[in-house]
Amino acid sequence: MAKKNRFLMDEDYDEKDRIDENDIDEYYVENAPERKKRNRKQTAAVVVAIVVVCLLAAGGMGLMALIDKYTPNNTLIDLYEYYGVDTRDDKDNPSAFVLLNGKRLEQKAYCFGDVWYFKKDFVAEYFNHRFYYDMGHDELIYTTPTKIVTIPFDSQAYYVGDTVKKEHYVIARRIDDEIYLAVDFVKERADFIYEVRTEPYRMLITTEYGVRQCVNVAENGTIRTGASIKEPILSVGDDTKNWSVEAEEGDWTKLATDDNIVGYIRTKELGDSYTITTTNNYQAPIYTSVSKKYKINLAWHAVYDMFDNDDIYGLLDAAKEVNTVSPTWYQLTDSQGGYSSLAQQEYVDYIHETGREIWPLWSDFTSVSAEGGWSEYELFSVTENRRALIAAMMSEVETYGYDGINIDFEKVDSETGIHYIQFLRELSIECRKAGIVLSIDNYVPMGHTAHYDRREQGAIADYVIVMGYDEHYNGGGEAGSVASLQFVTNGIVNTLESVPADKLINGLPFYTRIWDEYTDEAGNYVIDGKAYTMKASYERVEELGLPINWSETIGQYVAEGDVEGHHYSVWLEDARSIEEKMKIVAEYDLAGVAVWSLGGEFPEIWEVINRYNR
């Protein structure tokens, strides 16, 4: 008998249940169909289950994606983040970034106590550049058309002339070498309105006024950072912001506020429109000017000693068209307002007897002389010095009975510019009081002479003269015309950007330069430009035997040639060249002309000038 299976040796064991180990294969074979059938059903069930689970999972994911697609972003954006402000507001001494007509600037406004301030440089750049820092007295000066206003630091009081006035706030502060001006004080002297908003602090400044079309937002209307419901929210429903329509983009409308917040809203969520009107009642100061009812025909008379004064009688007999004479009588001599004079009462009386006006010239050329040079910076930046000079000028006006004065300060450097302009402001007050003409000579505008501030001169002076000559000058290293047509045109056009035509006088040259170019004994290149009157230049050209040809481009006759190892060239001035320049003066309807200098002209020049200068 086969051995019993050791795993089946127990009491309940029945012999009939015994399976012989030798029959095991037969057992599985006999039961195989039933077992295989059962395993296939189970497998199918499992597969079905898996498929169902997958479908449910996929459907759930799709549903979630669908829900996510149509679920709006409910994040309310923080304005600190929107404006890029890193820190929260300091409630004690806040500063505000500035939005000028909606455009964000780098500059800020500062609050001390409950009063807002601008830095002085910011005020000068954008609103009013007439606040002048008096270094000697450590205070501010503000100049009106008729008064000098003095503003001490850390004070509510200020002085208009000798009259004391007071505000309810400190007007000017000086902190860590920075000067701050109260915004309200500046606002009374500049054309702008402002509003301060918080969280974050921002100051809205408006200088452009008019009607602004705005739109209401529906009760649940949502304004977002972009044209999508997935963008963060800027505002929900009606709020205090005044939104204006910028553009329509499909189903969305682009909006903007006056403080440069840009947002998007579904067009269907917009309400009714309304308008906001901004105005300002600011009244700009009126700078009254002396304006002659005739075109100015001014002639400078070069006077180098007292004997030159005697020439005026014959010179004016030959120049009857001249209505204004400016003798070069006064030269500054030091930084304290000192000067030398060649003035003569008999000369003045003669000018008046002929029905003309006299505006003597004051020059600054000795400031750069090798001997006796002085500091223009010290003269104009020290209040006592510039006012001493102004007092001296007005004393001369009163003594001789002048009709005006002519300022010819050509040596002012960029560092001195702001002080020179303050001198002119203060001088203009005294000229206005006396009822005399203030005329100021200027170079043709170029970048390196911007500190002459022609715009301010155009406001405070009666006449501004552009010296339309010395295009090429001795020492400039290049031969050329003294006053080509393009040079003259540029001088007039560029000055007119700052000075009104009825105040602008164009300077004409009654001279030219003959250029002599050669190589000296040491082999060095030499160029020398010597000045000649009109008549003398033609005589010299004839003497040298140089051929003469007219240049349409330059607007002058040009003579050029080689003589005994020297190359000579000259751009001649005469009646024809002056006529070309006068056509430009007439085209722009300028206030007149000024000629340098009386006695250098051909007689027929005056007929040409008179033809165009009426």
What's the distance, CA 352 to chain centroid? 44
Least confident window among 60-69, 99-108, 529-538, 561-570: 60-69
426 vs 418: CA distance, rounded Å: 13
Cβ atoms of 576 and 557 closer than 8 Å: yes
Number of Cα atoms under 13 Å in the Cβ half of residue 89: 18
The SS3 call for residue 53 is helix
Fold of 296-509+574-612: TIM Barrel (3.20.20)
Domain ranges of the chain: 82-197, 209-278, 296-509+574-612
Indicate the residue type of 501. A
Q: Collapse the DSSP code of 13 into the 3-class scheme (helix H, G, I; strand E, B; otherwise coil) and give the result.
A: coil
Cα(168)–Cα(182) distance, rounded to whole angstroms? Answer: 11
Same fold, 209-278 and 296-509+574-612: no
pLDDT value of position 59: 59
Rounded to an integer, the average pLDDT of 256-278 is 94
Scored b (16 or more CB within 10 A) or e, 235-272 reads beeeeebbbbbeeeeeebbbbbbbbebebbbbeebbee
b/e map 579-590, b = 16+ CB within 10 Å: bbbbebbeeeeb
Q: Give the Cα separation of 406 and 607 in Å (integer).
A: 25
Rounded Cα gap, residues 383 and 385, in angstroms = 5
CATH level 3 topology of 209-278: SH3 type barrels. (2.30.30)
Single-letter residue type at 329: W
CB contact burial 444-482 (16+ within 10 A = b; e otherwise): bbeeebeebbbebbbbbbbbbbbbbbbbbeeeeeebbbb
Residues 223-253 pLDDT 10s: 999 999 999 999 887 667 899 999 999 999 9
Q: Does pLDDT of 21 surpass 90?
A: no
pTM above 0.75, yes or no: yes
Per-residue pLDDT tens digits for 126-157 = 999 999 999 999 999 999 999 999 999 999 99
Single-letter residue type at 398: E
Encode pLDDT of 354-406 as tens digits.
Answer: 999 999 999 999 999 888 899 999 999 999 999 999 999 999 999 999 999 99
pLDDT of residue 47: 57
How many Cα atoms within 13 Å fall on the side-chain side of residue 444?
Answer: 19
Per-residue pLDDT of 522-566, as tens digits, reads: 999 999 999 999 999 999 999 999 999 999 999 999 999 999 999
The whole-number average pLDDT for the span 58-84 is 77
The conformation of residue 45, written as its DSSP 8-state character, comes to H
pLDDT score for 36: 47
User: How far is 412 from 417, CA to CA, in rounded Å?
Assistant: 6
Q: In this predicted structure, what is the pLDDT of residue 28? A: 39
pLDDT of residue 41: 57
pLDDT for residue 285 is more than 90: yes
Residue 71 neighbours by CB under 8 Å, 6+ apart: none
Q: How confident is the model at residue 515 (pLDDT cuts 50, 70, 90)?
A: very high
Q: Do the bridges between strand 115-119 and strand 103-112 make them parallel or antiparallel, or are there none, so unpaired?
A: antiparallel
Split at pLDDT 50, 70, 90, the class of 86 is: confident
Residue 237 confidence (pLDDT): 78
Residue 241 has a pLDDT of 84
**What's the pLDDT at 73?**
94
Q: Average of pLDDT values for 440-469?
A: 98
The DSSP code for 557 is: E
